[in-house]
Amino acid sequence: MRRFDVIVIGAGGMGTAAAAHLARRGASVLAVDRFPVGHARGSSHGQSRLIRLAYYEHPDYVPLLRRARDLWRELEQDTSQRLLVESGLLSSGPPAGDVIAGTLRSARDHGLAVERFTAHEAMARWPAFRIPKDWESVFEAEAGHLAVEACVRGHTEVAMRHGGLIEAGHDVRGWRVEGDGVVVETTKESLGAGRLVLCPGPWAGGLLGLPDIPFTVLRKSLFWYAATSGLSSDAAATLPAFAFDTPQGFFYGFPQLDDRGLKLADHSGGQVVADPFEVDRRIDPGEQATIEGWLDAHLPGVGRRRTAHEVCLYTMSPDGHFIVGLHPAHPQVAIAAGFSGHGFKFASVIGEVLADFALDGVARHPVGFLSAMRFAGVGADGGAQAMGIRVADASVGRIRPAAQ
């Protein structure tokens, strides 16, 4: 049986980041996955991910985001790659809605620089957008996007450079605590380690060993559209990233990054996935119609020439917030799961947090609000209460549920 200081199950965005931090700190580490690094079967692919500081989901995430940005910049230096582009982010919606109210709350609580615009002012600055006159817009200049596949490859490179191993082809059958350590069973072999880090993505329900925390996996579609004569490629490339909180759903997108054009997606809704191994990756005509309806209403210059489509998975926790910390029953096991469609931007710092838990038993960053213990013995509103969110305003700190 091969033995390591730490085994990481899952080599996606979070797992490769954990492996990089562990290896850099001198631990012998093996990260295993069924699929090769950079695969498109989970949640760490699809060209780009938003990164922002004025976090509408809850202000408690902001310290983690500040550290995440620093660590992404360090990874850029380590790999000589550009990973984070500050394109800015324009968020638009009703002033009292989750996105605008939550963004301004985080900016106020943490002294973040944002600009506020009326609809008329926002359209004067970015004429490509169409914004209802009773909406408000918030612009965060330091926000932008991450090159998602390059980030995963970068952490993989750092892990391997420092002696870490990342191996595909391991179908993990289970794990168990044995003495002070753990044993991981895969279809290839049994593996032993002093500590275990679980980054299971959409396979969380079967691998975490937390039956009281139900996870829901959602199928989400990403669409790319070419800029047309109504919006030139040059103009499309200079747009900020954008997020629109509409009555039809929460839509987001990116400026043109390559010849596929602009990328757009619906953050709300989604189709429930029973088995992450069996996902329909064909285009759903209803989803495409919803995206094109948003384009017609808010970015009409792009047109309807679709150039690409991908499917990714959201692993939803019960309250839409992450689950990060030590396993409630096994202190030699660290867990990171339930990122609920807004986690990738945190991967760099979550990797550092997981290395802290695995090697020191405690994290240097404030992640107590993400502990799995918030679900222990609580009712329907327990997740919000355990995070210190008043039940009356819990909606401001939550990802909105799937559309009914």
What domains, with CATH codes, occur in the chain?
2-45+149-214+319-397 (3.50.50.60), 76-143+216-316 (3.30.9.10)
Helices 62-79 & 98-110, crossing angle to 10 degrees?
Answer: 80
Is the separation of the CB atoms in 262 and 225 below 8 Å? yes
Residue 68: other Cβ atoms inside 10 A? 26
- If phi > 0 it is left, if psi is from -120 to 50 it is alpha, else beta; for residue 139 that is beta
Task: Give backbone dihedrals phi and psi of 26, rounded to 5 degrees, phi first.
Answer: 95, 5
Distance between CA atoms of 8 and 14, rounded to whole angstroms? 10
Residue type present at position 239: L
Contacts of 158 (CB under 8 A, 6+ apart): 20, 23, 24, 75, 78, 79
Backbone angles phi, psi at 304, to 5 degrees: -125, 25
Q: Specify whether the CB–CB gap between 398 and 391 falls below 8 A.
A: no
pLDDT confidence of residue 391 = 23
The secondary structure of residue 397, as a DSSP letter, is G
- Structure-token pair, residue 314: 């959201």
pLDDT of 303 reads: 86
Assigned token pair, 187: 């279809």
Q: Are strands 216-225 and 262-266 parallel, antiparallel or unpaired?
A: antiparallel
Residue 133, CA distances (Å) to 102, 119, 245, 298 in order: 20, 5, 14, 12
Nearest CA among 319, 338, 241, 321 for reference residue 61:
321
DSSP code at position 34? S
Query: Is the overall model pTM greater than 0.85, yes or no?
Result: yes
Tens place of pLDDT per residue across the chain (404 aa): 999 999 999 999 999 999 999 999 999 999 999 999 999 999 999 999 999 999 999 999 999 999 999 999 999 999 999 999 999 999 999 999 999 999 999 999 999 999 999 999 999 999 999 999 999 999 999 999 999 999 999 999 999 999 999 999 999 999 999 999 999 999 999 999 999 999 999 999 999 999 989 999 999 999 999 998 789 999 999 999 999 999 999 999 999 999 999 999 999 989 999 999 999 999 999 999 999 999 999 999 998 999 999 999 999 999 999 999 999 999 999 999 999 999 999 999 999 999 999 999 999 999 999 999 999 753 333 333 333 322 222 222 333 333 32
Of 40, 323, 337, 310, whose CA–CA distance to 217 is shortest? 337
Output the six-digit token pair for 24.
């850099």
Structure-token match 């005509």, residue found? 285
